[in-house]
Amino acid sequence: MSERSVSRQQQEKRWYTVFAPEEFDRAELGETPANEPDQVLDRTIETTLGDLTDDAGANNVKLTFRIGDVGSDAAYTEFIKHELTRDYLDSLVRRGASKVEAYLTVLTSDDHRVRVQPVAFTTQKADDSQERAIRQRMVELVEEAARERTFEEFVDSVTQGRLSSAIYGEARTIYPLRRVEVAKLVLDAHPEEVAEEEETAVDVDEDDVDV
């Protein structure tokens, strides 16, 4: 391909300004180039909560957004993942103490399916029964928080630290805790995808019934 052809292709590309969802105040995430609007769809943008809020203390929180809508010169995203950096999580580990993790999938009140990983750090070494009790309480509180909130509200409670604070307040009665965090939150399925899976499951169950 000649240099002239390459130059022409570059000139034909349009730059789209990428914006965060409304729950993140439509903050500008950057720009992305494309020849056609459809090429922008489903691209992912990663940033930190610190960059969005001008708070350097929140740079340990990584946020991922996916482009779902494109205008004439703008691209609009949806939130798909919250994750703490490995360096930050490693810094919370102390010798002679326990790290208690839970992995669960929950449905929000508006039927978004979300994978969540809460983690608690104790002040000293907890025994197995205490770790199980802490893990169970974390699971109960995450399930309750999701059940009572829309996806947007649930994400807000995680990114603003309210869910981890609630878990800390409850679980520390089981064993003294130093810190609680939500290490990861991932959007697993939209409501329409959840509904479709449920319909498919019902169809399979009906096919299994002997007539």
pLDDT tens-place string over residues 73-97: 999 999 999 999 999 999 999 999 9
Looking at domain 96-193, its CATH class is alpha beta
Pairing of strands 113-122, 104-107: antiparallel
pLDDT band at 211 (very low <50, low <70, confident <90, very high): very low
Number of other CB atoms surrounding residue 161 within 10 Å: 15
Burial of 96 (0-12, 13-18, 19+ CB in 10 A): exposed
Q: What is the pLDDT of residues 91-141, one digit of tens each?
A: 999 999 999 999 999 999 999 999 999 999 999 999 999 999 999 999 999
Tens-place pLDDT, residues 27-43: 999 999 999 999 999 99
Domain ranges of the chain: 14-83, 96-193
3-state percent breakdown (helix, strand, coil) of the chain, nearest 5: 40, 35, 25
pLDDT in the model for residue 130: 98
CA–CA separation, 60 and 49 (whole Å): 8
pLDDT value at 206 more than 80: no
Q: What is the rounded average pLDDT for all residues in the chain? A: 92
Q: To 10 degrees, what angle do helices 151-159 and 162-171 make?
A: 70
Look at residue 204 in the predicted model and tell me its pLDDT. Answer: 55
Closest to 183 measured CA to CA, from 104, 128, 126, 112: 104
Q: Which helix (H) or strand (E) holds 129?
A: helix 128-147
pLDDT of residue 201: 74
Over residues 193-204, the mean pLDDT reads: 82
* 135-188 pLDDT, tens digit each: 999 999 999 999 999 999 999 999 999 999 999 999 999 999 999 999 999 999
Q: Is 27 helix (H, G, I), strand (E, B) or coil?
A: coil
Report yes or no on whether pTM surpasses 0.75.
Answer: yes
Residue 205, pLDDT > 70, answer: no
Gap between the Cα atoms of 6 and 18, Å rounded: 25
Q: Select from 195, 105, 114 the least CA-distant residue to 203.
A: 195
